[in-house]
Amino acid sequence: MKRSKKIILGLVLLVIVLGSVSLFTFNKLIQPATNEVQNSTTVNNGETSTNSTTSNSTSESQETTETSEEPEENPYEGTFELPIKNASGYAPIDLEVKSQADSDAETEETLEPGTAFRILQEEDDWWEIESEETQGWIEHQYAFINLPDVLPSAAYNNTNTYSSLYRSVGIEIPEVTDHSLYDSKAENERLGKEEFIIPVLYTTAKKIYEAQSQALENGETLLIYETYRPHNAQEKVYDQLTELAEENDTVKAGADTAPWEMFWFINDDVSNHQKGFAIDVSLAQIDEQETNFYGDYSVDVVEDYTEYEMPSPMHELSSASAVFTQPVTSLDEDAWKDAELRPEMNQAALALQGYFVNAGMTPLASEWWHFNDLEAREQVEDNESNGEYTLKEVMSTTP
């Protein structure tokens, strides 16, 4: 009996010991799993926080990008649509570069006709300029400025640089019509594209800007064909038209019969185009505009247009292009006002004439598309360009 009690007591103690060992082991096994769950929760919470921050940053970045893609319009408030700073200019004559903006200052260099330069700033009657060879000051009344650099809204199409439109009474002029008469187009960093080089005297450029401003107000744009024209290109047209007129009575009747003579349409002397104060231009309805940005400034640029029908095609060298019934001197800014208009002068041609007259330029009696700046003519009368050069270089950079 006593032995049985001992056995029973021993078994009870064994069960207690085994139970304690089992409980201890179970707790050891449970604790790591709990820690893993806690750690996992902490990590997940961290990931959730990180993802949330990343998502917010991405959202903010997208908003910033969207904002930067739509900068506010900022039209330039000045004489032109863009500042003259960093626009291209050209020396049409031997142009002295002074050390200061003073005619008595030392001459640093003399630019040869046709030399390109970049305009740095304006001070009274002077530009500070930088060419490949020198830097200094020039009198800007004698200098050309590249019109697209300061008037990018207008439409430009200098057909004489790639396929000349010159005809007479609709008849092609041999070696001229559909031919390139000279090269004058280049990549323009300032405008971000290839563009025609359209140089004019500074005084004349201001008047063309005024004419374009008026046109824009009416949903129209100037369509600028040509300003400066090299003399050798003009001589070629004159020689070829003269030869054609000698062989073709129809051409002679249209271009060289009283009251008109051929020099009213083309001549071999130095013309106002070589001197830098003439423009050949048409008028067009604006079909599409786009806001472009040039540095800090915005301009509404004409992207598509429809040219109006005019009294004759552009560069039709005959009496069909005449504005008045009789020749009128081109050296008097008022003489044309008493002249009789030809009935073919339509509304579009008269609107074009109005824009330029209001801007201070004078119509040419024989060509509806041609206007002269007699103020600029007077300014350079003592030192005129002869046009014995071609302009091919652009030095323009962001304004």
Tens of pLDDT, residues 194-222: 999 999 999 999 999 999 999 999 999 99
- Alpha carbon 239 to chain centroid distance? 34
Q: Which burial class, exposed, middle or buried, applies to 250 when counting CB atoms under 10 A from its CB (0-12, 13-18, 19+)?
A: middle
Q: Residue 286 and residue 151: Cα distance in Å, rounded?
A: 16
For the chain, state the CA radius of gyration.
Answer: 39
Is the whole-model pTM more than 0.85?
no
Cβ contacts of 332-340, under 8 Å, gap ≥ 24: 333/362, 333/374, 336/362, 336/363, 336/365, 339/365
> Average pLDDT over the chain, rounded to whole?
88
**Under 8 Å CB-to-CB from 304, ≥6 apart: which residues?**
286, 287, 288
For residue 173, which of 108, 48, 265, 103 has the smallest C-alpha distance? 265
Q: In this structure, how many other beta carbons lie within 10 angstroms of the beta carbon of residue 95?
A: 24
pLDDT at 32: 43
Set out the domains of the chain in order of their start, with CATH numbers.
Answer: 146-379 (3.30.1380.10)
State how beta strands 185-188 and 193-196 pair.
antiparallel
Could you report the per-residue pLDDT of 138-181, keeping only the tens digit for each?
999 999 999 999 999 999 999 999 999 999 999 999 999 999 99
pLDDT at 71: 85
Q: Which structure tokens are listed for 162?
A: 């790639």
For residue 360, which of 226, 234, 209 has the smallest C-alpha distance? 209
Could you list the pLDDT tens digit for every one of the 399 residues in the chain?
444 444 454 544 444 545 554 444 444 444 444 444 344 333 344 443 344 444 444 445 444 444 456 689 999 999 999 999 999 999 999 999 999 999 999 999 999 999 999 999 999 999 999 999 999 999 999 999 999 999 999 999 999 999 999 999 999 999 999 999 999 999 999 999 999 999 999 999 999 999 999 999 999 999 999 999 999 999 999 999 999 999 999 999 999 999 999 999 999 999 999 999 999 999 999 999 999 999 999 999 999 999 999 999 999 999 999 999 999 999 999 999 999 999 999 999 999 999 999 999 999 999 999 999 999 999 999 999 999 999 999 999 999
For residue 81, which of 355, 292, 305 has the smallest C-alpha distance? 292
Residue 139 phi, psi (nearest 5)? -80, 115
Bridge partners of residue 172, in order along the sequence? 167
Residue 136's H or E segment, with its range, is: strand 135-139
Instruction: Please give the C-alpha separations between residue 134 and each of 93, 99, 118, 129, in angstroms, as whole numbers.
Output: 16, 10, 11, 8
